[in-house]
Amino acid sequence: MERDKIFIFDTTLRDGTQGANISFSVRDKLQIIDRLDDIGIDYIEVGFPASNPKDEELFKELKNKKYKNSKIVAFGRTRYKDTSAEKDANLNLLVRSETDSVCIFGKSSSLHVEEVIETTLENNLSMIFDSVQLLKKYFSEVIFDGEHFFDGFRQNSDYAIKTLKAAQEAGADWIVPCDTNGGFLPGEMLEVLDTVSKEISVPLGVHFHNDSGCAVANTIVSVEKVKGIKMVQGTINGYGERCGNADLCQVVPGLELKLKKKCLKGSNLKHMTNLSRFVSEVANQTLVSSQPFVGHNAFAHKGGMHVSGVSKISKAFEHIEPESVGNTREILISELSGKKSIILKAKEFGVNLENDLEKVSKILNRIQNLEHKGYQFEAADGSFELLVKDIAGVKKEFFTLESFRVLNEKRAGGEMLSEATVKVYIGGDRIVETGEGNGPVNALDCALRKAIGSRYPSLSRIELADFKVRVLNEKKGTAAVVRVLIESTDGEKSWGTIGVSENIIEASWQALEDSVVYGLMHVEGTRQGK
């Protein structure tokens, strides 16, 4: 076994799918397996063979595949309490899976043995021994997960250790104590694992859930402090039941960059951010912007003094280089921004304000005044770029609004329909178009596209991906100011735009207009410098 090598065991496709709203198709799972293999994950646990038609199909597909870096792992339980290992249906399904490795769980808690599965403590030890012994006849590698081990150790430490020893004596290649309820803090966890490391001679792994918010910390500290820990189990983005599992997107960078352990091959750590976002997209989950290492805000700087400092020496304000995990530094613009922030941000989209402090001051004053009214540019990079280019005198005018009007009609049968009329000028031509939609913003979008689409065919590539409304001063009721954020995409990049008004339609138009103008500016190739 390679010195200082920590083996990464991913259970996103098994334990991760037990999380609320997490579901993968067979195609999804195969795509994720390909990505995990590419980045160099050592073990990929894919689920229970034939537990449902979807997993049955997956295991059939996997029999025809070989991966260059990853071992495919089937998951199951020890034999049933009243059945021999040879006749146990679950174990036979594992044998027929023909995967590279197999992982089974057994009860390590006397409470669970006697009160949940309702058998004797001695029979449970036999269940563990018999199951591991049978599987070792068919697999070169058997991993044993001691389910509820940490709670079991707290209840009856001698018995909890006996369950691990039963697996070891039967030939298990890995022993993995599990904090299945996720309730342990690092201090007590280390005391437990210290005892385990003295009693168990085969390589150890750890499996932590996050119910106390300590899954990542427990995983990293166990590797740092406990002799014999060579495997860590977790999921991409921490997906999993209840509060989730240890997040491998935090664990792996922590081990590699902080503890100097070897987890992935070569320089594959730089693909971690892309992996996180790919799995999030496939799972149809919203990315957590504040997620350490890989989140959009992990290296985002907002305060003026911080931005100025980062521009001089980034390590003064960042614990690692963003590029080491495939992330990027982000300069956020707000009322807290200093002039340096404006200059750096403007440079990102081709506007050089280094020697034009008058315009920088004007931009900063505009931002501060707008944020006082409720604007927020951190999530509206498109609107910010348009603001800068407007003041810098390089913003292109694709059309000029004369007016718009929206009518809402309630039809018999409960159907609601919105109709919008938009009047714009393009050059010297006045254009009037009407569009219908399932809501006022949809109708405005349709009408605007009809009005300008023939002049700008590339508009068809621009789509609205998300629409958010927030009431800023709820106490004013229906007279409250609202903030509208629109996210758009052209299939290659995404951008956010913003509108603020006491009238939700006006706020929506502001965000919609910025979205279209920004999109055309980039799709039409009119970015500054092109």
* Structural domains of the chain, with CATH: 7-265 (3.20.20.70), 400-523 (3.30.160.270)
Note whether 220 and 229 are within 8 A (CB). Answer: no
Structure tokens at 160: 């909890």
Q: What is the spatial distance between Cα 51 and Cα 97, in angstroms, rounded to a whole number?
A: 12
Instruction: Please name the residues in contact with 296: beta carbons below 8 A apart, sequence gap of 6 or more.
Output: 287, 289, 330
Residue 336's pLDDT is what?
44
Q: What is the spatial distance between Cα 383 and Cα 14, in angstroms, rounded to a whole number?
A: 41
- Half-sphere exposure for 473 (CA within 13 Å, toward CB): 10
**Distance between alpha carbon 399 and the CA centroid of its chain, in Å?**
38
Helix boundaries (H) for 283-356: 304-312, 339-348
Residue 309's pLDDT is what?
52
Single out the residue of 299, 376, 292, 367 nearest to residue 330, CA to CA.
Answer: 299
Using DSSP's 3-state secondary structure scheme, residue 103 falls into strand
What pLDDT digit, counting tens, does each position of 204-254 carry? 999 999 999 999 999 999 999 999 999 999 999 999 999 999 999 999 999
Burial string for 292-323 (b: 16+ CB within 10 Å, else e) reads bbbbbbbbbbbebebbbebbeeeeebeebebe
Helix boundaries (H) for 63-185: 89-97, 110-111, 121-136, 149-155, 157-169
Q: What is the spatial distance between Cα 133 and Cα 138, in angstroms, rounded to a whole number?
A: 10
Structure tokens at 363: 């931009």
Q: Is 215 left (phi over 0), alpha (psi -120 to 50) or beta?
A: alpha
Mean pLDDT of the chain: 89
Q: What is the spatial distance between Cα 424 and Cα 445, in angstroms, rounded to a whole number?
A: 13
Q: What is the spatial distance between Cα 419 and Cα 411, in angstroms, rounded to a whole number?
A: 13
Instruction: Please name the residues in contact with 343: beta carbons below 8 A apart, sequence gap of 6 or more.
Output: 353, 354, 360
**Distance between alpha carbon 429 and the CA centroid of its chain, in Å?**
47
- Amino acid sitting at position 202: V
Residues in the chain where the model's pLDDT stays below 50: 305, 307, 334-336, 526-530
Structure tokens at 192: 């437990």
Single out the residue of 98, 97, 77, 99 nearest to residue 88, CA to CA.
Answer: 77
Single out the residue of 46, 71, 69 nearest to residue 59, CA to CA.
Answer: 46
- Amino acid sitting at position 367: I
Q: How long a stretch of residues is the chain? A: 530
DSSP 8-state symbol, 42:
S
Residue 69's pLDDT is what?
95
- Half-sphere exposure for 113 (CA within 13 Å, toward CB): 26
Structure tokens at 334: 């707000």
What pLDDT digit, counting tens, does each position of 451-505 carry? 999 999 999 999 988 888 888 765 666 667 888 989 898 887 888 899 999 999 9
Residue with tokens 């521009």: 311
